[in-house]
Structure 1
Amino acid sequence: MTTPSAPLTPEQQPAAPAPVKKGGAALKKVGGVVVAIVVALAVKFGLPFLTGDTPVHAKAGECVVVTGSDNDPKVDSADCSSGKADLFKVVKVYDDTFDVNKCAEDSEQALAQQWDADKFVLCLNAVKK
């Protein structure tokens, strides 16, 4: 007959397995990607509308105020009788083009604008105060 072995000391006990994580890191990674996509879509489609950075596609006869630099003009709709500085009346609109030379006979100035696939040229005359 054999004698039973002595009980194991705490140093001899097998280590307990580490707790299993249930996809927490993967869920955080997917959540981060989803947040990045939502932010990108908000910037692309929502932010310009909220900040008013969308080009004004005015019609002939309407008035606009043009501010900003020549390389980055800002166009806002305006009342033709407002007397604002930089007030212009839209003489003609050419859609689906950037050819500002089309305005040569119609107006004093031309302004090409684009918003996504929508591109157009506004032919403008300054409104006299």
Structure 2
Amino acid sequence: MTTPPAPFSPEQQQPAAPAKKGGALLKKVGGIVVAIVVALAVKLGLPYLTGDAPVHAKAGECVTVTGPDNDPKVDTADCSSGKADLFKVVKVVDNTFDVEKCADAGELALAQQLDSDKFVLCLDKVAK
């Protein structure tokens, strides 16, 4: 014959904790909010942090144009730098992507967009 186990002392007995219904929901909502914030930061902020944001140069400034024709990178530069691919901005046409607006000014037209601002840079090659 075996003896029954001894009953638990009051210190050993712990009542079951009530389930937290709002905790799981709060974690899910918090996770979704964090995901949205990260996605917006990457979408809106990453080009500015990496320097890939388009440059809205002014007439008279110089820029370098590098990269492929379908994704050119434009950076401001010193006009006396003597860099390859150095262009002077002859004219800036705002609120359009129409590169034909540069037909009377410059040898190269480059359409750009910065946030909701769209514009065309009319450029002339800087002689070395």
Distance in 1 (CA, whole Å) between partners of 2:80 and 2:119 is 25
Q: 1:95 matched to which residue of 2?
A: 94
Q: 2:115 matched to which residue of 1?
A: 116
Question: 4+ residue stretches of structure 1 with deviation over 3 A?
Answer: 17-20
Cα offset for 1:28?
1.4
CA distances 1:92-118 after superposition (whole Å, capped 9, x unpaired): 000001110111121110000012210
Cα offset for 1:24?
2.6
Distance in 2 (CA, whole Å) between partners of 1:83 and 1:77 is 13
Cα offset for 1:40?
1.7
Cα offset for 1:53?
1.4
Cα offset for 1:46?
1.7
Distance in 1 (CA, whole Å) between partners of 2:102 and 2:19 is 67
- Higher-Rg member (1/2): 1
Cα offset for 1:44?
2.5
Structure 2 counterpart of 1:73, which letter?
P
1:24-103 alignment runs, 5 A limit? 24-103=23-102
CA distances 1:4-36 after superposition (whole Å, capped 9, x unpaired): xxxxxxxxxxxxx96432133212101111111
Q: 2:19 matched to which residue of 1?
A: 21
**Over aligned residues, Cα RMSD in angstroms?**
1.6
SS of equivalent to 1:66: strand
Q: 2:124 matched to which residue of 1?
A: 125
CA distances 1:20-72 after superposition (whole Å, capped 9, x unpaired): 32133212101111111111221132211111111100001000000111110
- Overall identity of the aligned pairs, in %: 80
Distance in 2 (CA, whole Å) between partners of 1:21 and 1:92 is 67
- Which stretches in structure 1 are left out of the alignment for 5+ residues? 1-16
SS of equivalent to 1:44: helix
Q: 1:10 matched to which residue of 2?
A: none
TM-score by length of 2: 0.82
- Which stretches in structure 2 are left out of the alignment for 5+ residues? 1-14
SS of equivalent to 2:47: helix
